[in-house]
Chains A and B, each alone.
Chain A
Amino acid sequence: MFSAAKKLRETGVLGLNERNTNFIMRFNPRSLYPRVDDKVLTKELALAAGMPVPDLYGVIVHQAEVRGFAEIVGDKNSFVIKPAQGSGGDGILVVTGRSERKRDSFRLSNGLLISEGELQHHISNIVGGQYSLSGTRDKALIEYCVHFDPTFAEVSYQGVPDIRVVVYRGYPAMAMVRLPTRASDGKANLHQGAVGAGVDLASGITLHGVLDDVLVEEHPDTGALVAGLQIPQWDFILESSARGCEVTGLGYLGVDMVIDADLGPLILEMNARPGLNIQIANCTGLANRIARIEEIYDEAATPAERAATARREFPAGA
């Protein structure tokens, strides 16, 4: 057991305790949390910084507004409902279309039909705070549903794959692609059974994947190889992530992005406590990279420079 711990230490694996005490508590002041915990605020900040985000159709703040849901949606066929303060992808509904015969019946990303009443109930649950981190009242966002880029079509089961970049003091430190599976119910969350694939920071090409903490080579549902996919606009993705540090002020940050077929990379959300599975997906520890960033840290560097530094410093296998 101690030898295993020693090996982890050598590999530079970051543990929860160390992440919490040394990085989150040090670099993420509590006062800045609302910037990432409230997705409405995150969206505003990102837009103000000139970063691309999915279009916001409307926000439902009060129970009384739940009935106005139909007006917000209008005649849009696809949209996403999510809690502003949700965590881990909980409470997110992805509507991909409507029933041909009954316009008030919606088709979810998993193919199920859901009535408008059920959607309203879900929204009122969100507003009531069922999915909020603190359990207090929340807001429901209704926003643009990403038409995801065909790059990951072969390795996703429904849902939208996203790219998570962990940014340490403005420098991208590690990245992975999260691929929805049947088990994750279309959600790109590793806790819920999604596959995570490490990404070579230098090239933006995916490495092998991880499912439930175990390395996998193929997507469990489609059988396609996870590794070797080139993520489009990788430069832009890295630079946007690096910019996340300025936008939020957080020193230890997870930036989640999706690639829209038409609009390119969009910032979905940011996270003040990004998980540690990314280390398994990349087969390497975060601690070593963080130590390296501390060595080369340059306060004056622009996001583009920091992204370039990360590409240079952290190629796969390093």
Chain B
Amino acid sequence: MNQRYVYLLAALLTVIGLSVFFYKWQVLGFPVTEDQEAPVWTIESAVNFQSGPGSIKVQLNVPWLTPGFRTLNENSVSRGYGFSTNFGSGGREAQWAIRRADGEQTLYYRISVYEDDRVNESDTTPPFPPTPTIIEPMKTAVDVLVDDVRDHSADTASFTTELLRRMNDPSPDSNVELISAGVSTSAEFVDVITTLLASARIPSRMVHGFPLSGRQRSAELVSWLEVHDGDRWLYFNPATGEESLPDRFLVWWRGNEPLVNVEGGSNVQVDFAIQVNHLEAVAIAETQAALQGTSAVDFSLYSLPIQTQAVYSVLLMIPIGALIMVIMRNIIGIDAFGTFMPVLIALAFRETKLFWGLILFTLLVTLGLTIRFLLDKFRLLLVPRLSAVLIVVVMLMLFISMTSHRLGMEMGLSVALFPMVIIAMTIERMSVVWEERGPADAIRAGLGSLAVAVAAYTFMVMPWLEHLIFTFPELLLVILGFVMLVGRYTGYRLTEIRRFKELTRD
């Protein structure tokens, strides 16, 4: 009965711990490994214009549905202007308004995005476009071209490819020549293509955006073609007819509306600059979770002040040490002084590094023991003697630090990081065992403590483990569950198999 509750509780703790962990990992995107940095692009658009005499209203198309990218944040810098974002006919728009302005005006809109493959957003299936009204003789040319292309294609995708191939033909036929007369920019070209596709009752639209790579001081918008095949949107390279999207293509806006619309201003010019930063994946996940309003972040350690974070990143390794301790003591069965002494020693090893830690610890305990045996001659009472040992330990630390500093070995300075009270108690315990059970037992238990400390240290310095626990402190629940299970472990300890070997003989 009792037993079952322990199992239930342990299972419950594990389930809670793991589900919070998976939620934060899979849904919020907290990284499980340490140095996951993700590139974050900041695209800044500067709208430049000469203000007119009256009130000014500026509308700028801004990103909305961006396949492959997720928005980290966006903001606008525009002194004196009222700013808002809302949905217009072409998608999302940033809107600035001001009653009166003088001279040249510059409005900034800035958006930061990062790559996220899971974003595969497309808007709803569009209706079949109405047949565009095209006047003769253009209409005949369009009809002939569309019919011809339809004969040479099987579906929407192949139709589009074939159409683009013909339109891009270096030696175009007369129909194509007629249709593409007067087309100079790539945007105009894509515009013509959408009209042609509409004549064939194929929904299509123009997309504008940037292939993101490194830093670009002035980025050029690239126009692309989007065609709906009835199920989803397909992307076509208008210049080659290839069905693809450029690498890391950030869709800025869709449709053939102009990028910017300024009422009450003139000489409008929009410049784009792209900046790339590498942000820690954790920071991105945090911002993302905050946007979603998840409370998981309220309990994140990353929201603490940096100094407190540093303290906790060390403190959170203590449960790991305790876990190792439990395994070493109850499953393997190694003798050690004190319950948590090895964990605290391992904690000190983190600072001193293993090699020097072992040397300093052994030195300190050996010297301490020697002096403890000398003190024994004076027959001091217990508490004064313990205090004397503690004081001696502090003085030894000072002595080791100063000597090693003189010798130019700076590692000796870190001896001060050892928990001196724990060391003093260890020396006392060890000397008692030494007297009572002999040096062999004392040294064996001393080495056992060191072995446990080294094992705990090995795990406590694993950077990925530290990151994992720090980012997902809920995993402590899993450790707690496991430790509780070991608390009900009634099997043999490994060392007992050796101890009772006489009983395994036939």
Contacts and interface: CB of A to CB of B under 8 A. Distances in A.
A318 interface: no
A268 B469 CA distance: 52
Given A90-B436, A125-B382, A192-B436, A17 B491 contact: yes
A146 B440 CA distance: 30
Given A15-B491, A17-B330, A124 B497 contact: no
Given A1-B497, A283-B503, A284-B503, A8 B492 contact: yes
B382 A4 contact: no
A125 B501 CA distance: 38
Contact of B492 (A17, A91, A283): A17
A9 B504 CA distance: 9
B496 interface: yes
Contact of B502 (A125, A276, A280): A280
A17 B489 contact: yes
A4 B504 contact: yes
B490 A15 contact: yes
B181 interface: no
B381 A63 contact: yes
A21 B497 contact: no
B493 A128 contact: no
A16 B502 contact: no
A114 to B, nearest CB: 12
B488 interface: yes
A44 interface: no
A2 to B, nearest CB: 9
A279 B500 contact: yes
Provide the main secondary structure of the chain B interface: helix
A18 B500 contact: no
Given A21-B488, A279-B503, A5 B381 contact: no
A21 B492 contact: no
A16 B493 contact: yes
- Which residue, of B381, B436, B441, has the highest number of chain A Cβ atoms within 10 A? B436
B487 interface: yes
Nearest to B487: A21
A317 to B, nearest CB: 14
Contacts of A210: 502
B223 to A, nearest CB: 69
Contacts of B311: none
B383 interface: yes
B360 to A, nearest CB: 26
A103 interface: no
- Which residue, of A90, A130, A191, has the highest number of chain B Cβ atoms within 10 A? A130
A22 B379 contact: no
Interface string B463-489: 000000000000000000000000111
Contacts of B494: 1
A192 B492 CA distance: 23
B63 interface: no
A76 interface: no
- Which residue, of A16, A91, A213, has the highest number of chain B Cβ atoms within 10 A? A16
B500 A280 contact: yes
Contacts of A279: 500, 503
B29 interface: no
A121 B378 CA distance: 9
Interface in B356-401: 379, 381-383
Contact of A214 (B381, B441, B490, B502): B502
A129 B436 contact: no
Contacts of A9: 492
A157 to B, nearest CB: 16
A128 B333 contact: no
B118 interface: no
A279 B504 CA distance: 12
B9 to A, nearest CB: 15
Contacts of A304: none
Contacts of B490: 15, 17-18, 21-22
A7 interface: yes
Nearest to B490: A18
Interface in A91-126: 91, 117-118, 121, 124-125
A15 B492 contact: yes
A281 B176 CA distance: 104
A215 interface: yes
Contact of B504 (A7, A15, A63, A118): A7
A222 interface: no
Given A7-B504, A17-B491, A121 B497 contact: no
A11 interface: yes
B315 interface: no
Nearest to A92: B436
B499 interface: yes
Given A15-B490, A17-B490, A213 B502 contact: yes
B65 to A, nearest CB: 59
A1 B382 CA distance: 44
Nearest to B6: A21
A166 interface: no
A285 B503 CA distance: 8
Nearest to B497: A4
B437 interface: yes
9 contacts: A1-B497, A7-B504, A8-B497, A8-B504, A17-B490, A124-B381, A128-B383, A192-B437, A280-B499
By Cβ-Cβ distance, the 8 closest A-B pairs, closest first, are A128-B382, A18-B490, A121-B379, A15-B492, A7-B504, A4-B497, A90-B436, A11-B503
Given A13-B503, A128-B383, A284-B503, 17 more contacts: A5-B491, A5-B492, A7-B504, A13-B496, A17-B330, A17-B493, A21-B490, A63-B381, A91-B436, A125-B382, A128-B381, A131-B432, A279-B500, A279-B503, A280-B502, A283-B503, A285-B503
Interface of B: 330, 333, 379, 381-383, 432, 436-437, 441, 487-494, 496-497, 499-504
